């Protein structure tokens, strides 16, 4: 089937992704609810519960592709407002929305915002207790490079958690999901931002992302141990978890 997408190269891919998130930054949180029918909230809650952040002031989390700070704020709350989270994103527009949200929620002291690329993290080795990335890794042009960087900046005993759209494992659900994502999402995207192409690109990027097992293998290859995954909503999303030991 052809959906009329252009083939994009890797540097062009990052430019396209940047363009999408600059355009949607202010409406990103609403778009998320609309496109996932609110399900992203339940998946994120499950991710935070699985991480179970320590209720300690010296617990440090790096949330990569953290955008508007959703995951980081949930982690800080789950730690009883004790942990510290660094939100890293390549896109300053997304981070500005996040910083404002954090200020309004009274969480500014527990968060910082860093504009950088997941493929080149501006941190010393062995700096963080946990590395989280939600719906971000499929946008990164070189996934293996991002995973290597995750391994480098984690402390020994540190935890990697990746939440991402994945491969649906139920035929009935797959049909509904295909209709929803290929027709409804670009249409909604166009209604909200006047432009369907960025959303078509995002939907396409979900299809290209490796399935649960292949992605687990990629995580193992960069040196992580005890790699496992949990499917959410029939595999529409999956949480991969691993340790640096």
Binding-site members for S-adenosyl-L-methionine are 68, 89, 117-118
Residue 134 interacting with ligand SAM (CB under 6 A)? yes
Residue 136 interacting with ligand SAM (CB under 6 A)? yes
Residue 232 interacting with ligand SAM (CB under 6 A)? no
Q: Under 8 Å CB-to-CB from 50, ≥6 apart: which residues?
A: 161, 230, 239, 241
Alpha helical stretches, state H, the chain: 10-24, 28-36, 39-51, 70-78, 92-104, 143-153, 171-179, 185-193, 197-208, 212-221
Do 127 and 88 contact (CB within 8 A), yes or no? Answer: no
Whole-angstrom distance, CA of residue 143 vs CA of residue 218: 9
Which residues within the stretch 12-41 sit at the binding site for ligand SAM (CB under 6 A)? 17, 21, 32
Residue 215 interacting with ligand SAM (CB under 6 A)? no
The distance of closest approach from Cβ of residue 74 to ligand SAM in the complex, given in angstroms and rounded to an integer, is 10
Nearer to ligand SAM, 64 or 238 (CB): 64
The distance of closest approach from Cβ of residue 65 to ligand SAM in the complex, given in angstroms and rounded to an integer, is 3
Residue 198 interacting with ligand SAM (CB under 6 A)? no
The CA-to-CA distance between both ends of the chain, in Å, stands at: 44
Binding segment for ligand SAM (CB under 6 A), chosen from 3-11, 88-96, 172-180, 215-223, is 88-96
The distance of closest approach from Cβ of residue 46 to ligand SAM in the complex, given in angstroms and rounded to an integer, is 13
Distance, C-alpha 128 to centroid of its chain: 17
Judged by CB under 6 A, the residue of 117, 181, 205, 212 near ligand SAM is 117
The bridge status of strand 111-115 relative to strand 84-89 is parallel
Annotated binding site: 68, 89, 117-118
Which tokens hold the place of 146?
A: 């991002």
Residue 67 interacting with ligand SAM (CB under 6 A)? yes
Phi first, then psi, for residue 14 (nearest 5°) are: -65, -40
Residue 219 interacting with ligand SAM (CB under 6 A)? no
Nearer to ligand SAM, 133 or 242 (CB): 133
Q: 165 pairs with which residues across the strands?
A: 237
Nearer to ligand SAM, 31 or 242 (CB): 31
CB neighbourhood size of 43 (10 A): 21
Residue 65 interacting with ligand SAM (CB under 6 A)? yes
Judged by CB under 6 A, the residue of 43, 131, 135, 215 near ligand SAM is 135
CB neighbourhood size of 156 (10 A): 8
Q: Under 8 Å CB-to-CB from 41, ≥6 apart: which residues?
A: 33
Judged by CB under 6 A, the residue of 35, 51, 60, 66 near ligand SAM is 66
Owner of token pair 């790096």: 62
Give the residues lining the site for ligand SAM (CB under 6 A).
Answer: 17, 21, 32, 64-67, 70-71, 89-91, 94, 117-119, 134-136, 139-140
């Amino acid at each position: 089937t052809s959906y009329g997408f252009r083939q994009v190269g890797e540097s062009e891919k990052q430019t396209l992704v940047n363009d999408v998130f600059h355009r949607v930054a202010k409406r990103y949180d609403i778009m998320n609810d609309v496109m996932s029918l609110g399900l992203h909230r339940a998946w994120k809650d499950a991710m935070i519960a699985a991480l179970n952040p320590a209720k300690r002031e010296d617990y440090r989390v790096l949330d990569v592709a953290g955008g508007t700070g959703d995951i980081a704020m949930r982690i800080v709350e789950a730690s009883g407002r004790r942990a510290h989270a660094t939100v890293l994103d390549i896109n300053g527009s997304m981070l500005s929305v996040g910083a404002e949200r954090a200020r309004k929620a009274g969480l500014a002291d527990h968060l910082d915002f860093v504009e950088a690329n997941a493929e080149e993290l501006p941190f010393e080795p062995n700096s963080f207790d946990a590395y989280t990335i939600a719906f971000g890794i499929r946008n990164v042009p070189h996934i293996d490079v991002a995973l290597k960087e995750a391994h480098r900046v984690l402390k020994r005993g540190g935890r990697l958690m990746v939440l991402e759209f994945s491969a649906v494992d139920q035929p009935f659900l797959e049909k509904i999901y295909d209709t929803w994502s290929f027709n409804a999402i670009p249409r909604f995207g166009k209604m909200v931002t006047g432009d369907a192409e960025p959303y078509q690109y995002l939907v396409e990027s979900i299809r290209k992302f490796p399935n649960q097992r292949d992605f687990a293998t990629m995580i193992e290859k960069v040196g992580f141990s005890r790699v496992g995954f949990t499917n959410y909503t029939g595999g529409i999303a999956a949480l991969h978890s691993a340790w640096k030991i």
